[in-house]
Structure 1
Amino acid sequence: MPLAGVNNIKGAWRRSLRLPGNSAFTFLKTSTMPHDFGDASAPVTIAVIGCGNRGRTYASYAIAEPTQCKVVAIAEPRPMTRKLMAEAHFVDKTLVFEDYRDLLKASAETIQTVGKRLADAVLVTVQDSMHEEVTLAFAEQGYHILCEKPMSTTLEACFRMEAAVKKAGIIFGMGHVLRYSPYNKALTEVVRSGALGQLINVVHIEPVGWWHFAHSYVRGNWAREKDSAFSLMTKSCHDLDILCHWLFPGTVSRVSSFGSLQHFRKDQKPKEAGDATRCLDCPYEQDCAYSAKKVYLDPATLRQDGWPSSVLVDGIPDIENVTAALQTGPYGRCVYECDNDVCDNQVVNIEFSTGATASFTMIAHTKLQCDRQTRIHFAFGEIVGDMSSFTVTDFRTRKSTHHTPKSEGGHHGGGDLGLIRTFVEAVRTKDQSLLGTDATDALRSHIAVFASEKARLEGTVVDVVQFEKEMREKYGVEEA
């Protein structure tokens, strides 16, 4: 990796302000928590559970806006990642934990001894299968929670999370970042205005990106359903959520879906690759679109934060440790020799209670990387957008207006920043409505995703209302 890229990563880790105190109890005595004491001028304090890419991304808001929030505690099993995160946010060493259970235990002790939690809120940015256990544990202690998407990997777990959040009466944010980008906020304003009449149809596409899909869903943590969930959930649950958001107050009534794993299979392996199972040993590597050498060592691929190479190593990636990871780790494997099983393409057809329809496509094989393409059709006009700008056409006036909302930078069109900023303000003001959603709303869009996967697997049209009723009966959950 170029030296400039490494320096950018180091800088991102280390820019922050030092927190007072040298122990958990000293910290509690010298800091003010707005949730407990109503000090609107004090930064909202946050504990980060999982310091990988998503945890660092959300936590970076504390570095950019230290008067708004502070990271005061972390839990992360990887030693160097934990060390760098603690240094970047100047977290007191007594509030740095290897396991979230240790943080939870320390919190319980301080609540019992001092009557205060260690922080106002927690960011749940661990692996998807852990979302439920972490959320339930910290909700019980009264922490406000921002949970990365998906809510969980099973519908039963999602039901339990909704119940726990409602029982605790806490602020709950869901990592449906698309809602919070300047682009989507501006587009939603036009949709909700009713200026173009009845909303009739939406066509929405998520182009994942050919090497991005290979990174995350072939070689990576989301490659096997048993380890996480099906790809419609892990990659595109926030796309179905934004469709539900646009079509509100309509609700999803019926879905059908088709999709499969078409390309990333052994029978698709180029003959020139022979018996090679790793890219660094492959005679076809230079000509392969999915060469791990190109993806993880090519400066043209890397972002300033080092992703995707940063995922391969514990700490700051460089040529030596990334090369070593490609020689022995999962990300150096041939994409045609992996044990992945999730869909690389899927379409979902949706009918809403209003009679409106929507179609969604998730496709791996694209040049665009997560830059959604959207067409929204109304009785008297249409909106056509690409995540950066959108054009509104009014059929009555025959005029088209182009909108380019100001970008705030960052990922998901600024949605990451928009979400964490809104969550912090919701915690500060104790106002769930600022987020424009809650645990029940998040559950509702997740139900649509689970129903869509059922439709794909069974080759049927699923009545979502009936599906939810059956699932609530199955898991003993009362109607929302």
Structure 2
Amino acid sequence: MKQVTSILIGAGLRGGYVYSQYALDHPDEFKVVAVAEPDQERRELFAAKHNIPKELQYESYEELLQQDKIADCAMICTQDKMHYEPVTMALQKGYHVLCEKPMSPNKDEIVKMGAMAKKYNRILSVCHVLRYSPFFSKIKEILDEERIGRMMSIQHIEEVGYWHHAHSFVRGNWRNKEESSPMILQKCCHDMDIMLWLADSKCKKISSFGELTYFTEENAPVNAPRYCMDGCEHRDKCPFYAPRFYLEHPKAVEDGLVYAVTDQADSEHVLEELKKGPYGRCVFHSDNTVVDHQTVDIEFENQVTASFLMTAFTNQCARRIRIMGTKGELKGDMEAGTIEIIDFVSGTNDLIQLHTPSKGHSGSDMNMMREFVRMVGEGKTGKTDASVSVASHLMALAAEEARIRKTVIDFEEYSAYETK
């Protein structure tokens, strides 16, 4: 296979540090040849890592996509509400596209992007990376082999983690649903997609409950300042004290979260940014509007029922699943890499231990990039093309509408215009 070339639009954490890492690890297979990023320091640091000349460094995606096509594909890693225009421009220009999830918080834009990929016969692969994880790939294989008989029920939980929720959904870029997207779409479209994939059926009905309960002004401790570094007297008892997390918590460094605070992650730069930057705010004095706990119940057309729980109030950032079948039961822990199968007939327990890397969604990120590069290089389709992703995105939006309206959504009716 020839080397696949790409442009990058948005050199933040996912684009600049995760997906593009595949080019550094596999230079014979993949190369990033141009970048568009409004932050000059971030743009120049990325360009230096990938040896991108000055003339191929752009401040805006419009500048880059107005040029003649210069690569095989485009990685679109901008913020949630900023995907539609660069994705459609790239497809029209002739690029295959890798789009960070969610595609868009706008129902019409999601459907139009899927239709445009089909119209121009381009690959539009959405970063539903969990389909590429060893964990969920193995579960899919077990289900297809009918080792637990006919599937009847799914119970799935996403433990966001108190520290991750505070970083991304209270202080960070995804804190405000009006500026980005609802929590069930931004964080949990992964999970809607996985349940859709495992159930192997279309969604029939969906309902949801959830609220922003804890991370609000009324729960702020007495005399808590707006910024952690403004002499907070609760610092030793607060699990969300920003300087302690960004300088001491292993996940801040291991998962690169500190680079959201500053591109120069030494203590001097971190503390300076936390004084008045968004990541130094008290979690009770922010402008966050996304829920901090939510449940979703789903009925699929094949009569499989699914229950999903998202919560901020856990120690680990983890996904756990139980699947109940007519001949057995499956229990899985993604981060631990364990799958237990209980056979109703023999009464035996089969414990499967997978190799799951600690980073990158348990190895999913690089598996997805490997598959995307292969798809572009060989002209093949993969697990997460746009037609599949449109359905799971609409499930997430239907769940949010059900939560707000406190009703049950008929999914066929909700998504009917998609096929018009």
- Which residue in 1 is equivalent to 2:33? 72
- Which residue in 1 is equivalent to 2:22? 61
- Matched residues in 2 for 1:409 and 1:381: separation? 29
Q: CA deviation at 1:194?
A: 1.8
- Which residue in 2 is equivalent to 1:254? 205
Q: Choose which of 219, 226, 236 in structure 2 pairs with 1:268.
A: 219
- Which residue in 2 is equivalent to 1:345? 293
Equivalent position amino acid for 1:97 in 2: Y
Residues 67/409 of structure 1: CA separation in 2 closer, same or farther (3 Å cut): farther
Task: Please report the TM-score for the alignment, with normalisation by the length of structure 1.
Answer: 0.85
Q: Choose which of 361, 364, 368 in structure 2 pairs with 1:419.
A: 368
Q: CA deviation at 1:301?
A: 3.9
Equivalent position amino acid for 1:53 in 2: L
| Per-residue CA distance 1:48-90 (angstroms, 9 max, x = gap) | 1111110020010111111111111111111121111111111
- Matched residues in 1 for 2:64 and 2:145: separation? 46
Equivalent position amino acid for 2:3 in 1: P
Query: Is the 1:192–1:246 contact (alpha carbons within 8 Å) kept by the matching residues of 2?
Result: no
Residue 376 of structure 1 pairs with residue 326 of structure 2: no
Q: Choose which of 132, 150, 169 in structure 2 pairs with 1:180.
A: 132
Q: CA deviation at 1:93?
A: 2.3
- Matched residues in 2 for 1:206 and 1:301: separation? 17
Superposition map of 1:457-472 within 5 A: 457-469=404-416, 472=417
Task: Please report the TM-score for the alignment, with normalisation by the length of structure 2.
Answer: 0.96
Q: CA deviation at 1:299?
A: 4.9
Residues 301/294 of structure 1: CA separation in 2 closer, same or farther (3 Å cut): farther
Structure 2 segments unaligned to the other structure (5+ residues): none
- Which residue in 2 is equivalent to 1:25? none
Query: Is the 2:128–2:384 contact (alpha carbons within 8 Å) kept by the matching residues of 1?
Result: no
- Matched residues in 2 for 1:254 and 1:84: separation? 47
Q: Choose which of 218, 229, 245 in structure 2 pairs with 1:295.
A: 245
Q: CA deviation at 1:436?
A: 2.0
Query: Is the 1:252–1:350 contact (alpha carbons within 8 Å) kept by the matching residues of 2?
Result: yes
- Matched residues in 2 for 1:375 and 1:104: separation? 45
| Per-residue CA distance 1:133-188 (angstroms, 9 max, x = gap) | 11001000110111011011111110111111111101121111110011111111
- Matched residues in 2 for 1:466 and 1:398: separation? 43
- Which residue in 2 is equivalent to 1:454? 401
Equivalent position amino acid for 1:101 in 2: E
Secondary structure at 2:250 match in 1: coil
- Number of paired residues? 416
- Matched residues in 2 for 1:405 and 1:301: separation? 22
| Per-residue CA distance 1:232-281 (angstroms, 9 max, x = gap) | 11111110100000001x1110011000001001111122xx05111011
RMSD of aligned C-alpha atoms? 1.3
**Identity value in percent:** 37
Structure 1 segments unaligned to the other structure (5+ residues): 1-39, 108-116
Residue 436 of structure 1 pairs with residue 420 of structure 2: no
Superposition map of 1:28-427 within 5 A: 40=1, 42-55=2-15, 56-107=17-68, 117-248=69-200, 250-271=201-222, 274-281=223-230, 282-304=232-254, 307-313=256-262, 315-369=263-317, 371-387=318-334, 388-427=337-376
- Matched residues in 2 for 1:275 and 1:407: separation? 41
